[in-house]
Structure 1
Amino acid sequence: MILHLIYDSFDFKSWIIFLFVFLLLVNMIKNKNPSNFPPGPWPLPFLGTVFTKMDFRTMAKLAEVYGKVFSLRVGSEKMVIISGYKMVKESLITQTDSFVERPNVPLFHKVFKAIGISMSNGYLWRSHRKFTAFHLRMFGEGKKSLEHRIQEECVFLCDAFKTEKGPFNPLAILNGAVSNTVASLIFGQRFEYHDECYQSILRLDTECVQLMGSPRAQLYNVFPRLLEYLPGPHQTIFSNYKKITNFLRGEIIKHREDWDSSNPRDLIDNYLTEMEKKKSDPQAGFNIEGLVITCLDVIEAGTETTATTLRWGLLFMIKYPETQRKVQEEIDRVIGLSRQPCLADRVNMPYTDAVIHEMQRLGDVVPMGFPKKAVKDTTLGGYFIPKGTAVSTILSSVLHDPNEWETPDTFNPGHFLTENGQFRKRNAFMPFSSGKRACVGEQLARQVLFLFFTSLLQQFTISKCPGEEPSLLGEIWFTYAPAPYRICVSSR
């Protein structure tokens, strides 16, 4: 009777208000933080901290307010942000087993489908990471070693620089050269820099990396079901990756036609062989779709980040010509001009090695790292992090930690040199992340950076174009990239 009277007394407006208040209470109860959860900005009902930019500069400002371990709420999903060397080391190294899995990030999940290497978990991830690491090691020691493949590409890279008669943007050439070191591992071949089909694939991938860092694209992570049917940058990302994966499937089909398990040419051949071996173990995930995504993983990890680091490197050389001159003096003294640089030279070139490390540190190419999640209830920095909570370790905060670097915001190769000029390692140098989820292609990237950089400065002096002053303020993509700039090169 009472309920009936209440019902009769409510008009349409009252019912709307009642429904809103009810949903608001449900949202508050559902998203209530557990005891001793990391602090953070106050989230909006239903939306969370959706208007907080998910970039490393914003994270640095929030860390000043809330501390090195704080939280955000993306829609209804909680995320813990970890910054500073001490706390990042605690999560990635000391407690690596607690944060070894990937969360379901809708923008990534749509493309990578939780298979392959980068976004998979559990037994499937361990199987694929072990396979890929073995493949990279095997080709590093084979008859045509990884070093030799990179040296061959150095020749093509330098020839491409020589053909440029005036000021030019090095982006396309560097992307093509770096991608060829990866292509030789995956496809057993390189692609000409003017190969329009392959260049279009690289442009599609670069566009994806650019768009993934935009707030509009990241909004898909908050409302994936809604935005699935609406236009936006996320649709361009999905369309581009569909074209890229179709290209990869085409290459796989070609490989299957003349595949010989006794004579593997590349990663695809080895994966096809692994598929045969693991037929009775479907949980390992070795199938055609797994091969497509694994190829995509290796391309993503080994191309854009390394090429962007080299672009930062060339930019630093034109901004700091005295540093470039010292590198060239060391190259002339150790290698000379009559032979190619090789990896064995690195130990005798501490200054060049320090410059390359400083390029990576200040370039800060992957500032936000890749998200992880807690696989069990965990305590970090005195705060409670429940099982399943997404965690983001801000690598930029490590590479710029004022407690670890003498001049954190300045290009200073001395960060990696002892008083007597010898190279020194730094624990806070984490451009490839660290722990069990560290970049599987780290060694490949390190080899490419050293051989490409020394080859270019062996043959050329890089300078800025007359009347142009490139900026050291980068652009926030999914990576952190230099703003477009042009260079002039002169043969030495």
Structure 2
Amino acid sequence: MELGETLLLLLVVCISTFILLSSWSQIARRRQLPPGPAPLPILGNLLELKAHDMLRSFKKLRDQYGPVFTIHLGHRRVVVLYGYKAVKEALVDHAEEFSGRGHLATVDDFVQGFGIAFANGERWKQLRRFTLSTLRNFGMGKRSIEERIQEEAQFLVEEFRKTHGSAFDPTFILSRSVSNVICSTVFGQRFDYEDKDFLSLLTKINENFVLMSATWGQESKNPLSEFHLKTMIMTVLNLFIAGTETVSSTLRFGFLILMKYPEVQAKVAQEIDDVIGRSRVPKVEDRTQMPYTDAVIHEIQRFGDVIPMNLPHAVTRTMQFRGYTLPKGIDVLPLLTSVLRDPDCFSDPENFNPGHFLDEKGHFKKSDAFIPFSTGRRICAGEGLARMELFLYLTSILQHFALTSPVDPMDLDLTPPVSGFANIPPTYPLCAIPR
């Protein structure tokens, strides 16, 4: 055999050995992770995850591999948690280890780890403390958060009144109203619903926040501080997204549900009449005396399931979880929908039923599986704000109007037309008939 042939053979043997060892190494690493489907080169398991029905794809994998399994999104490994027990064990029992923020391809290049929702480490801790403190001391003593929501709810009532009972699409009017609560916080004032600057702001938010893509310099001389302009801008942006889209989408689901189930709407309206009446503005403290209304709002959030896939988490240190080794930094996807629709926690999970949150005496009943805002260290910082908004908006509207549909309630479809990272409510016409 000539020297050239020998060298070529040696090269082939070396390459083959390298590929074999690499494959063995990957197999060994995968064996330490939770089970899951074998990934294809480059694509990973993307062909097994149907883009138009991701949630059904995850359920199918759960049925095959159990409540904790691994998928590959391209080259990226993701551990998926399915069901109340798995999610609770991770996010609550091991809260610190699962408190990292994972990758979200659609926003990573833009946010670059800035802002409370996508930050990690010390940056996240500082921004969370700051955000929670600011929300607690809302308006620095000048006006309370409740007063701001009450004011905006009354503006929404007037907008509904202008329709004179004719059918209209509530989508954009709800977004403008709910967004105004955040505007009142950030800018110190609300905006008229037709204000050009306000509409421009909402448009820019919906266009992926192009104006926020540049890198900004600091406001602080402390190089260790995370309170510089870009983190503040991104945190405000996070509040606009969380404080506008999620709440307005939940209200849109709620109004649609109440039109489909007029008997539920009638019971809520009666409770409003009994506790609040029709002359004074609803207050947050009324909620404790309105168990049925409270149960209905909880069930709207559970059934509406606006953020079914949750934001991805990441493991902050290498750890053992249910007999598997999760390496530091690996992404974890705790599926909120799998908790909100866990048949072990809710008797009729696929249907709307306020009884999920009522005991046999009609008193409000809490559920540990009610986690539309997630749970653990990464629970939504705006949970308290959102809960206040949902109660005050819904009671203010039903105090003055009966919500009806131009079509037969039996024909109303509650199925989201888009279901993936978010469940987008269907569009529909609504008639607000004065009571």
Q: TM-score, normalised by structure 1?
A: 0.81
- Correspondence for 1:351: 292
For residue 52 of structure 1, report the CA deviation from its aligned partner: 3.1
- What is the DSSP-based 3-state SS (H/G/I as helix, E as strand, rest coil) of the residue aligned with 2:202? helix
For residue 26 of structure 1, report the CA deviation from its aligned partner: 7.7
Aligned-partner Cα distance in 2 for 1:368–1:190: 32
- Residues 363, 289 of structure 1: alpha-carbon distance in 2 compared, 3 angstrom cutoff: same
The match for 2:226 among 277, 280, 285 is 285
Supply the AA of the counterpart residue of 2:209.
Y
Aligned-partner Cα distance in 2 for 1:6–1:167: 83
The match for 1:464 among 400, 405, 415 is 405
Gaps of 5+ in 2: none
- Correspondence for 2:426: 483
- Correspondence for 2:55: 56
Per-residue Cα deviation, 1:383-435 (whole angstroms, up to 9, x for no partner): 22222211000000000000000111111111111111111110000000011
Q: Are 2:270 and 1:302 equivalent residues in the alignment?
A: no
Moved more, 426-435 or 57-66: 57-66
- Correspondence for 2:210: 242
Aligned-partner Cα distance in 2 for 1:490–1:105: 43
Contact 2:309 2:420 in 1 (8 A): no
The match for 1:331 among 272, 277, 291 is 272
Supply the AA of the counterpart residue of 1:242.
V
For residue 91 of structure 1, report the CA deviation from its aligned partner: 0.7
Gaps of 5+ in 1: 10-14, 209-239, 250-271
For residue 164 of structure 1, report the CA deviation from its aligned partner: 1.9
- Correspondence for 1:374: 315
Per-residue Cα deviation, 1:115-170 (whole angstroms, up to 9, x for no partner): 12011111111001100100000017723100000000011111111112421111
Contact 2:55 2:420 in 1 (8 A): no
For residue 203 of structure 1, report the CA deviation from its aligned partner: 4.1
Q: Are 2:306 and 1:365 equivalent residues in the alignment?
A: yes
Aligned-partner Cα distance in 1 for 2:92–2:368: 11
- What is the DSSP-based 3-state SS (H/G/I as helix, E as strand, rest coil) of the residue aligned with 1:289? helix
Contact 2:36 2:70 in 1 (8 A): yes
- Correspondence for 2:4: 4
Aligned-partner Cα distance in 2 for 1:22–1:159: 74
Contact 2:153 2:392 in 1 (8 A): yes
Contact 1:305 1:479 in 2 (8 A): no
- Correspondence for 1:432: 373
Per-residue Cα deviation, 1:296-315 (whole angstroms, up to 9, x for no partner): 11111211001100011001
Aligned-partner Cα distance in 2 for 1:372–1:295: 21
For residue 345 of structure 1, report the CA deviation from its aligned partner: 0.4
Aligned-partner Cα distance in 1 for 2:428–2:320: 45
Supply the AA of the counterpart residue of 2:429.
R
Aligned-partner Cα distance in 2 for 1:125–1:93: 18
- Correspondence for 2:96: 97
- Residues 3, 161 of structure 1: alpha-carbon distance in 2 compared, 3 angstrom cutoff: farther
Aligned-partner Cα distance in 1 for 2:91–2:154: 38
RMSD of aligned Cα (Å): 2.6
Per-residue Cα deviation, 1:153-202 (whole angstroms, up to 9, x for no partner): 01111111111242111110110111011111111111221124422432
Supply the AA of the counterpart residue of 1:138.
N
Moved more, 158-167 or 469-478: 469-478
Aligned-partner Cα distance in 2 for 1:90–1:477: 24
Aligned-partner Cα distance in 2 for 1:196–1:159: 20
- Residues 142, 74 of structure 1: alpha-carbon distance in 2 compared, 3 angstrom cutoff: same
- Residues 2, 171 of structure 1: alpha-carbon distance in 2 compared, 3 angstrom cutoff: farther
Contact 1:350 1:421 in 2 (8 A): yes
Contact 2:259 2:403 in 1 (8 A): yes
Contact 1:330 1:351 in 2 (8 A): yes
Contact 1:81 1:391 in 2 (8 A): yes
Q: Are 2:199 and 1:199 equivalent residues in the alignment?
A: yes
For residue 204 of structure 1, report the CA deviation from its aligned partner: 4.8
Aligned-partner Cα distance in 2 for 1:52–1:195: 46
Aligned-partner Cα distance in 2 for 1:52–1:81: 14
Regions of 4+ moved over 4 Å: 6-9, 21-27
Supply the AA of the counterpart residue of 1:490.
I
Supply the AA of the counterpart residue of 1:327.
V
Q: Are 2:36 and 1:40 equivalent residues in the alignment?
A: yes
Aligned-partner Cα distance in 2 for 1:437–1:48: 28
Aligned-partner Cα distance in 2 for 1:454–1:26: 64
Q: TM-score, normalised by structure 2?
A: 0.91
- What is the DSSP-based 3-state SS (H/G/I as helix, E as strand, rest coil) of the residue aligned with 2:148? helix
Q: Are 2:392 and 1:473 equivalent residues in the alignment?
A: no
Contact 1:158 1:455 in 2 (8 A): yes
- How many residues are aligned here? 426
- What is the DSSP-based 3-state SS (H/G/I as helix, E as strand, rest coil) of the residue aligned with 1:118? coil
Q: Percent identity?
A: 41
Aligned-partner Cα distance in 2 for 1:285–1:192: 34
Aligned-partner Cα distance in 2 for 1:192–1:353: 30
- Correspondence for 1:314: 255
